[in-house]
Chains A and B, each alone.
Chain A
Amino acid sequence: MKHVDEFRDPKAVQTLSMEIHQIARHPWTIMEVCGGQTHSIVRYGLDRLLPPEITLIHGPGCPVCVTPIELIDTACELAKLPDVIFCSFGDMLRVPGTHEDLLKIKAKGGDVRIIYSPLDAIAIAKTNPSRQVVIFAVGFETTAPAQAMAILQAHRMNLENFFVLVAHVLVPPAMESLLSAPQNRVQGFLAAGHVCTIMGYDMYEPICKTYQVPIVVTGFEPVDILEGVKMVVHQLEEGRSVVENQYSRSVHRAGNLEAQKIIDEVFEPSTRNWRGIGNIPNSGFQLRPTFGKFDALQHFQHRIHLTDAATSPASECQSGKILQGLMKPSECSAFGTQCTPDHPLGAPMVSSEGACAAYFRYRHSSVVRQ
């Protein structure tokens, strides 16, 4: 299959693995930011093709995982309202809130629908004028343009029954937050290729300079990831720290200017609470005042009630440490015992980009039996 096979070619993977073995002289810890990259690494066993000097740690790049529990609880409360059709990407449905998840609300009669594109929610709102349609807008910069486009379309159509529960997060502030933490272990980053397809990679230059870390914009296939690792190791061994682009078939320095324009028209940066990490300034999006009428939190604020006792994740869940790369899923005592995809304690065990889900799916028996 064109555009895929060449990036999964066993010979190319073997060559890159050998090259990394040859150039790595010192121990280095590299973080892949994106959960999609984590899944590729664990699925194909790419970390096992690296020399012992190189440690890969898994970053916070799973938007489902970092959505704070109060937003999951709010989503559940909204989905319970009898006049609401609650639209979400499938990943969010099994993420545990304080007491329940969206799948349980659906089973109890809530009208929860899985959508593949934010524009699907527009179609649902149009065909159900007597219902209130709420979309759970989750994602990084990658999905923000489609979300913004749906909101612009709702605005142009004067839709009065379309609302957005905004949970968008931004990657660069999270990377800075990790680097500035006292317990930081990260010496180099594989930046998330798809985010850079939209946003470009100029914004990483100041991070490189300030924290002296190499950042390589990297794709998601085995050859991409090993090439990205090789480029980071090369820089580290040479004492350099610059932004490089491994994923040039998709990413240009300036990114997708049209998409950025649409995002900027609809959203403005805001402080966002990251699950397990805490508040990070300018790390999320909120609707600009022009589009405030679509804000589900504002519209439904008098109809949903979250008690103070709500909004607390399971105490055994170590997802905060997992998402900051301070712990591997296999090092968590609940992994594979109290916490499984069927009975998750935290979002990283159920999201398709979650690190715990990757370890459970591809390695759990060997991990649990150790």
Chain B
Amino acid sequence: MSQNSFFEPQCPLPLASNETIRLAHGGGGHLMQQLIQDVFLEAFSNSYLNALQDSAVLPAQDGRLAMTTDSYVVQPLFFPGGDIGSLAVHGTINDLAMMGAIPRYLSAGFILEEGLPIATLKQVVSSMAKTAQDCGVHIVCGDTKVVDRGKGDQIFINTTGVGVIPRSVDIGPHRLASGDRIIVSGDLGAHGMAVLSQREGLEFSGDLVSDSAPLHTVITDLLNHNLVIHCLRDLTRGGLASALNELATAGPCTMTIEESRIPVSNPVRGACEILGLDPLYVANEGRFVMFLPPADVDEALSILHKHTVSQEAVDIGEIGAAELTPHQSLVTLRTKYGTHRILDFLSGEQLPRIC
């Protein structure tokens, strides 16, 4: 998509929505130019992208840059509470937000399967554009490839994000400290169960809506209040249990969480019960876990509760020992009965193609 514009002697007809993607749409010729104009530029238009140079040229930023990339292969493309387009924006923005960065720019790489209806692509791209606009980020460069029918699965999207970290912000597992409280921003497992129920046509799907949402606004609000946030992590694939284990290993430290305080909605609990899944391992796309000193917990919770995405935030546990060797790291869960059990990394894949 990032080719130089060139003289075009003909004026092609706009792409009809009843057309489908052909291999030539990724071939660098007329059809690709038409796709770029009618679908991508039409939706994403901004001064950085519209220049159509080999690279987007961006202004210098005040502060350190955070950069992240993620690929999205979710099936189905459209699910209750979102679609692959909105997910491709939220997911990458949230990775930036977890470093305390203010998201600024995104790239968008598309791998399209031959035979994909243009109308479906337009719907995804339009959702992506609206989500980016709502989040205050620009999609500044992109790429399109088309693969043979049967070699892809409709649409795969990669987005890379760049954000700016304010000078005073230092967030990461290196700051995890003994006694830190662990706050989770809301109920768990809604995204994974919404996608799964839609994909498998399960009858309880009506009650399940993805939690996919941008998290940078609430994080910025927390940082503006000068709270001492030691570490943040968004809860994506592998859910809360995997995020805590990753951070305990990175710390290295031990963590204990209270089963009775972990928020899970009744529809998610019910669906997980029926399917034999543990909500602690189910994917989220609009939830995060936060570590901070006990003195800042009350203020943090009152700020979190003012934002829709985190209005059910709750303190679920604490860091035990810190400054350990990696093999001493451990996450335990205190059950409702006062017994303790390990909360380990997931073995194998619980739910494939969930994001």
Which residues of A (47-86) have their CB < 8 Å from a CB of B?
A: 48-49
Contact A44 B337 (CB under 8 A): yes
Does the CB pair B344–A44 fall under 8 Å?
no
Chain B residue at minimal CB-CB distance from A367: B342
User: Are B341 and A363 neighbours in the complex by a CB distance under 8 Å?
Assistant: yes
**B residues less than 8 Å from A361 (CB atoms):** 342, 344, 347
Are A45 and B269 in contact, with the CB atoms below 8 A?
no
Please report which residues of chain A, range 97-156, place their CB below 8 angstroms from some CB of chain B when the two chains form the complex.
Answer: 116
* Distance (whole angstroms) from the CB of A245 to the closest CB of chain B: 23
B319-355 vs A, Cβ < 8 Å mask (1 yes, 0 no): 0000000000010000111011110100110000000
B339 close to A44 (CB less than 8 A): yes
B337 touches A1 (CB 8 A): no
Q: Digit string of B221-265 for contact with A (CB within 8 Å is 1, else 0)? A: 000000000000000000000000000000000000000100000
Could you say which of B276, B337, B340 has the most chain A C-beta atoms within 10 Å of its C-beta? B337
**Of all chain B residues, which has the CB nearest A48?**
B339
In the bound complex, do residue B348 and residue A49 qualify as a contact, i.e. CB atoms below 8 Å apart? no
Complex interface: chain A residues within 8 A of B260 (CB): 10
CB distance from B294 to the nearest CB of A (A): 25
Q: Size of chain B's interface in residues, with CB distance under 8 A?
A: 18
Q: Which residues of A contact B266 (CB under 8 A)?
A: 1
| Interface of B: prevailing SS | mixed
B270 at the interface (CB under 8 A from A): yes
Determine if B273 is an interface residue (Cβ-Cβ < 8 Å): yes
Asked whether A364 lies within 8 Å of B344 as measured between CB atoms, the reply is yes
Cα(A8)–Cα(B269), bound, Å = 13
Taking the nearest CB of chain B, how far is it from the CB of A18, in angstroms?
12
- CB of B339 within 8 A of CB of A342, answer no
A46–B340 CA distance with the chains assembled, in angstroms: 10
Q: What CA separation (Å) do A46 and B341 show in the bound complex?
A: 11
In the assembled complex, the CB of B188 is this many whole angstroms from the nearest CB of chain A, namely 15
Contact of B337 among A49, A365, A366 (CB under 8 A): A49
Knowing A1-B269, A352-B276, say if A44 contacts B335 (CB, 8 Å): yes
Tell me if A341 is interfacial: C-beta within 8 Å of chain B: yes
Given the complex, which residues of B lie within 8 Å of A4, measured CB to CB?
269, 273
Q: List chain B residues, Cβ under 8 A from A1.
A: 266, 269-270, 273
Question: Which residues of chain B are near A328, meaning CB under 8 Å?
Answer: none
CB pair A341 B341 closer than 8 Å: no
Q: Tell me, rounded to whole Å, the shortest Cβ–Cβ distance linking A44 to chain B.
A: 5
Q: Using a CB-CB cutoff of 8 Å, which residues 274-303 of chain B contact chain A?
A: 276
CB distance from B200 to the nearest CB of A (A): 8
A365-B269 contact in complex given A10-B337, A49-B337, A341-B348, C-beta closer than 8 Å: no
Looking at the assembled complex, report how far the CB atom of B161 sits from the nearest CB atom of chain A, in whole angstroms.
Answer: 32
Known: A94-B348, A342-B347, A352-B276. A362 touches B337 (CB 8 A): no
Inside 8 A of B269's CB, which chain A residues have their CB? 1, 4
**For B200, what are the chain A residues with a Cβ–Cβ distance below 8 Å?**
116
Contact of B335 among A45, A360, A363 (CB under 8 A): A45
Question: Given contacts A4-B273, A45-B335, A352-B276, is CB(A365)–CB(B330) below 8 Å?
Answer: yes
Contact B347 A362 (CB under 8 A): no
Task: Tell me the nearest residue of chain A to B334, going by C-beta.
Answer: A45
- With contacts A94-B348, A341-B347 taken as known, whether A8 is within 8 angstroms of B336 at the C-beta atoms is yes
In angstroms, Cα B335 to Cα A42, docked, is 11
Q: Tell me whether A43 and B337 are in contact in the complex, defined as CB-CB below 8 angstroms, given that A1-B269, A4-B273, A341-B348 are known contacts.
A: no
A49 to B339, CA, bound (A): 8
Name the CB-closest residue of A to B343: A362
Interface contact A14-B344, CB-CB below 8 Å: no
Which residues on A sit within 8 Å (CB–CB) of B344?
A: 360-362, 364-365
B28 to chain A, nearest CB (A): 33
Q: Can you name the residue of chain B whose Cβ is closest to the Cβ of A93? A: B348
> Are A13 and B276 interface neighbours, CB within 8 A?
no
Inside 8 A of B330's CB, which chain A residues have their CB? 365
Provide the residues of chain A in CB contact with B339, threshold 8 Å.
44-46, 48-49
* Apart from A1-B269, A43-B335: 16 A-B pairs, beta carbons within 8 A: A1-B270, A1-B273, A10-B336, A42-B341, A43-B341, A44-B339, A45-B337, A45-B340, A45-B341, A46-B337, A46-B339, A49-B339, A342-B347, A361-B344, A362-B342, A364-B344
| CB-based closest 7 A-B pairs | A45-B339, A341-B347, A362-B341, A10-B336, A48-B339, A13-B337, A44-B335
- List 24 A-B pairs, Cβ < 8 Å: A1-B266, A4-B269, A8-B336, A10-B260, A10-B336, A10-B337, A13-B336, A14-B337, A44-B339, A44-B341, A45-B335, A45-B337, A45-B339, A45-B341, A49-B339, A222-B337, A341-B348, A342-B348, A352-B276, A360-B344, A361-B344, A361-B347, A362-B344, A364-B342
